[in-house]
Amino acid sequence: QVHFVESGGGLVQPGGSLKLSCGASGFFFSGYSVGWYRQTPGTERELVATISHTANMRNYVDSVKGRFTISRDNAKNTVYLQMESLKPEDTAVYYCNRVVAPLTWGQGTQVTVSS
């Protein structure tokens, strides 16, 4: 049973932009806070942005504040991550999941920031 399908990653130059999308299924999406996570080889998965179930609260890790914007469409069971002013250190595989009691992880989407 697939719970999350991430898309929108790619190769972008420093300073560029990308918008990630994540479709969710198999649970009551609009009842949960969800977040975007990222992971690089050999490191722990990092939670970079969260959004409450009604979208009235959003939080970001300091390293992405002012550059990333998380949003959601509960009618489409989808969460988005708009990424601006990308830096090489943003290179990672990006995943979405619930913030509390994460479910099975999806495949993620690779973001590579390089000139």
- Say which amino acid occupies 92: A
Written as tens digits, the pLDDT of the chain (115 aa) is: 768 999 999 999 999 999 999 999 999 999 999 999 999 999 999 999 999 999 999 999 999 999 999 999 999 999 999 999 999 999 999 999 999 988 999 999 999 999 9
Q: Rounded to whole angstroms, what are the CA distances from 50 to 42, 47, 83, 115? A: 23, 8, 14, 29
Predicted pLDDT of residue 2:
67
Predicted pLDDT of residue 99:
96
Nearest to 20 by CA among 31, 41, 34: 34
| d(C-alpha 90, C-alpha 83), whole Å | 9
Predicted pLDDT of residue 85:
98
Task: Give the up-direction half-sphere exposure of residue 29: CA atoms within 13 A in the CB hemisphere.
Answer: 19
